[in-house]
Chains A and B, each alone.
Chain A
Amino acid sequence: MGLLIDIIGGLLLVGGAAFLLFGSLGLLRMPDVFNRIQAGTKTTTLGTLLTLAGAACLQPAWGWKLLLIGVFLIFTNPVSAQVLANTAHRRGAQKTPLTKIDRLAEDREGKA
């Protein structure tokens, strides 16, 4: 039983690290700032959450502290992603030519 939980925990660690890798790959491959934020910050958040869950399986005594780190990440990461995206948009960051529509720029121009 203990061994089974250990192996599940180890697999969660590997899965989480794999998501970290996907996130970084997205960060590198995506064509503009907004898509980089999308791929980078959020996929890595899930990766870290899975790693924390894996660590909780391996060391149940650390559960509370790991949960605290997880809750903290869930609340702070989207905020920093939003603030960064907002900053990029205000600074007029270049958007990829693939972009289909930008309602925010339309509305900003309408008010100005």
Chain B
Amino acid sequence: MVEVLIAIAGTLAGLAFLLALARFVRGPSRVDRVVAFDVLTVIAITFIVLVALVENRGVYLDAALVYALLSFLGVIAIARYLEGRF
């Protein structure tokens, strides 16, 4: 029962990933791509949590946490770069 629900959630998240990827490819501006990248990371964090549930491994959550941290820093850095601050 629960496995079926996790599979449905994974499918929906996968569709979401594809839609965000379409926006990432299409652009048109660079800021659009960064926004799409931000959304892709958030979806990826959900994926990591789902995989952790399926495999029953709590260690994967650390990866999700570090991933969230790094993507946040990355987005801020790219935004500052696009603004021409450095």
A9 surroundings in chain B (CB, below 8 A) = 2
Q: Give the docked Cα–Cα distance between A44 and B80 (Å).
A: 23
Interface centre among A7, A16, A18, A48 (most CB of B within 10 A): A48
On chain B, the residues within 8 Å of A10 by CB distance are 1-2, 4-6, 9
Instruction: Please tell me if the beta carbons of B19 and A28 are within 8 angstroms of each other in the complex.
Output: yes
A23–B36 CA distance with the chains assembled, in angstroms: 11
Residue numbers in B under 8 Å from A25 (CB-CB):
16, 19
A94→B36 CA distance, assembly (Å): 17
Q: In the complex, how many angstroms separate the beta carbon of B62 from the nearest chain A beta carbon?
A: 8
Interface of A is mostly: helix
Binding site for B on A (CB under 8 A): 3, 6-7, 9-11, 13-14, 16-18, 20-21, 23-25, 27-28, 33, 36-37, 40-41, 44-45, 47-48, 51-52, 54-55, 58-59, 61-62, 65-66, 68-69, 72-73, 76-77, 79-81, 83-84, 86-88, 90-91, 93-94
Instruction: Find the B residue at minimum CB distance from A73.
Output: B68
Q: Is A69 a contact of B16 with CB atoms below 8 Å?
A: no
- Whether the Cβ atoms of A80 and B12 lie closer than 8 Å is no
List of B residues within 8 angstroms of A52 by Cβ: 49
